[in-house]
Amino acid sequence: MDFIQDLFWPGNTNLASTLVLLSFVIAAGIYLGKLKVGGISLGVTFVLFVGILMGHFGYVIQPDVLKFVREFGLILFIFAIGLQVGPAFFSSFKEGGIRLNMLAVLGIVLNVAIVLAIYFIDGNTSIEALVGVMSGAVTNTPGLAAAQQAVTTTEAVDTMSMGYAAAYPLGVLGIISAMLLIKVIFRIKTEDEIKAIESESEATQTKPYLASIEVTNKLINGKTLLQLHDIIHCEFVVSRIMQSDGTTIIPKSSTQIRVGDKLYVCMTPSDLQSFETVLGPSIEMNDEDWDQAAPENVVSRRIVVTRSEYNGVALATLRLHQGYNVNCTRVNRAGVDLLATPGLRLQMGDRLTIVGDLNDIDRLTSKLGNSMKRLNQPNLITIFVGILFGIFVGSINVGFGMKLGLAGGPLVVAILLSRFGYKFKLVTYTSSSASLMLRELGICMFLAAVGIGAGANFAETVFNNTGMWWVIWGFIITFAPLVIIGCIARGLYKINYLTIMGMMSGGYTDPPALAYANNSTGQDAPAVAYSTVYPLTMFLRVVAAQALILCFM
């Protein structure tokens, strides 16, 4: 029975016992993290607490192995995060998201200001402990990892981990408490906010909208579709035209429209009035009606882009009209329909809605790929090339002794690759399941290693007067900035409460708080706001945590 002692006895550091320990910590942490208290669960973060518990009871891992597991897990996690948020990172700076992002940035500034105030006023709490407490208070694991990259001693790394663990539980509760306080202060009724967000969504909706228009304006008689684009200043695609004699055709830019024609137009809902003013009234004809009216061989099909050579190619360059006599009305990307404008750049995994002759569609299908099996194959070259350059970028001194490190470097490179990778013939498409697996595996490895490393001294450090103050400081760091930015968002800018909830969750990169917001409202508005501020705040929290360490150690 010696093998049992070799595998499970505290203090053993052989390879088999290390793998058993890591597997147990991760499996138990994930299981316990699914348990809900008051509708809230800690998720994979519970892996950290199981690791601390096992470290407390004497389970250890060789320092070099522990460091490798921690750093490699961090790189996998942060790189997957970068690929996920990259496409939204640049679009989040557009007009609709600027205000939310600026409020979220203000929250980060207030977090840092409170940490500095505590550091200089208290005088007894180290900056390493406060950065760990701040990372736990704002539930931001990459920030903790970035700060740990900036220190050189194991003691400092463990101190940050213990501060993080002490502040994290009240960090989640603090975010939700701030949401509830804002609701009470401004006497908000969730039902009214839901109605307001639904009305606003209907008024500003930009996703593709299909409408049937009958041409009655004689002034338009004989105009081509190309000329119609000059008359109606908006983006649209005419899928099919039913001519006055009942013949249904697939139009080209040179196709003339005449009084009595019926057009099946893909546009945004806000442009419908323009079409009715210029062409004529909308009529009751849906997809089924158009399919029945179409010639026998004219159909509508969806084609998936699975050939890497079309990654980043503008839709206009496919020459669908001239080369295939088909129309593309919309593009579905990650579950979201986009209007098929000529300048829209395709990405691997895009689903194109094509209308035309079945034989022509088949020719286009063979060109674009349409192979789901190919999408299931992970693009490992891009991942490891990105990690390689991420480590390189993270090692560069960017001034004042600062480096982005193994957290910031891969994050920056992943964001850039997800947006501009097609220019270097790198395919960044990753299926949702593969991306989630990469991200969860990385964060679990990181949290398990951090917990085991910090566990030996956790109880004597945290469960005393020092630990009590860490919890208090953490709650203040969590709660005060959220109340301030929440009051500004609602009182000054009159932002919808559902959006404020999402902004608070995204500003603190906290999925449990987002889950609470979604479950309590039944709307996706919090998730939209979350994704709007998440990319920028994730990046800035990584930089802020590391900057505090480099400036004050």
Q: Each residue of 274-285: pLDDT tens digit?
A: 899 999 999 988
Reply yes or no on whether the pLDDT at 20 is more than 70: yes
Q: For 226-251, what is the mean pLDDT? A: 87
Nearest Cα residue to 179 out of 521, 469, 470, 473: 521
Averaged pLDDT score across all residues of the chain: 83
pLDDT of residue 503: 92
Reply yes or no on whether the pLDDT at 97 is more than 50: yes
The DSSP element (H or E) to which 443 belongs, if any, is: helix 432-455
Q: Which residue has the higher pLDDT, 455 or 401?
A: 455
Q: What is the pLDDT of residues 434-446, one digit of tens each?
A: 777 888 888 889 8
CA dist 508 and 506 (Å) reads 5
pLDDT of residue 358: 84
Q: For 394-410, what is the mean pLDDT? A: 70
pLDDT of residue 56: 84
CA dist 451 and 420 (Å) reads 37
How many other CB atoms are found less than 10 A from the CB of residue 184? 8
Q: Which residues pair with 240 in a beta bridge?
A: 264
Any idea what the Cα angle at residue 10 is, between residues 447 and 1, rounded to 5°?
A: 125
Which one-letter amino acid corresponds to residue 152? T
Position 1 confidence tier, pLDDT thresholds 50, 70, 90? low
Radius of gyration of the chain (CA): 28
Of 100-109, 188-197, 334-343, the range with the highest mean pLDDT is 100-109
Q: What is the pLDDT of residues 163-187, one digit of tens each?
A: 888 887 778 778 888 998 999 999 9
Reply yes or no on whether the pLDDT at 296 is more than 80: no
CA dist 535 and 552 (Å) reads 26
Reply yes or no on whether the pLDDT at 401 is more than 60: no
Token pair 């063979």: residue: 366
Q: What is the pLDDT of residues 499-512, one digit of tens each?
A: 899 899 889 987 66
Reply yes or no on whether the pLDDT at 193 is more than 80: yes
